[in-house]
Homo-oligomer: A and B are copies of this chain.
Amino acid sequence: MGNAKLYKGSLNTIILKLLDEQGKMYGYEITQKVKALTKGELKITEGALYPALHKLEAEGLLDVELAKVDNRLRKYYKLTEAGEKETVNRLAELEEFIRSMQNLVNPNWSIN
């Protein structure tokens, strides 16, 4: 709690970015990766993650590949070609947004 409600709107872009650099990932793995990368500050809930993955897939940005590991199901997601193109756009947009926020909130921070 506390950090809750703070990353609204950027979850999709985070997913795309991670898939772009990791190649393929499954849902649970994404939640753990984000937790690790942000030292526990950002926690992606399953209720937000799975619908987001399904939507990105429906939009044709992700492909799914089923796998069974230790008798447990995994759904590996990876970017489609369209997904890779979209990732570039959305990442640029998110970076611009972060710079703007940074500049608004603390103009003293370096902007590089």
* A residues at B contact (CB < 8 Å): 2-3, 5-10, 13-14, 17, 34, 37-38, 41-42, 91, 93-98, 100-106, 109-110, 112
- A3–B94 Cα distance when bound, in Å, is 9
B100 touches A105 (CB 8 A): no
Number of copies: 2
Interface centre among A2, A7, A110, by most chain B C-beta atoms within 10 angstroms, is A7
Chain B residues near A105 (CB, 8 Å)?
Answer: 13-14, 17, 91, 94-95, 98
- A13–B38 Cα distance when bound, in Å, is 21
Q: Which of B9, B41, B102 contacts A8 (CB 8 A)?
A: B9
Q: Which of B10, B38, B112 contacts A6 (CB 8 A)?
A: B10
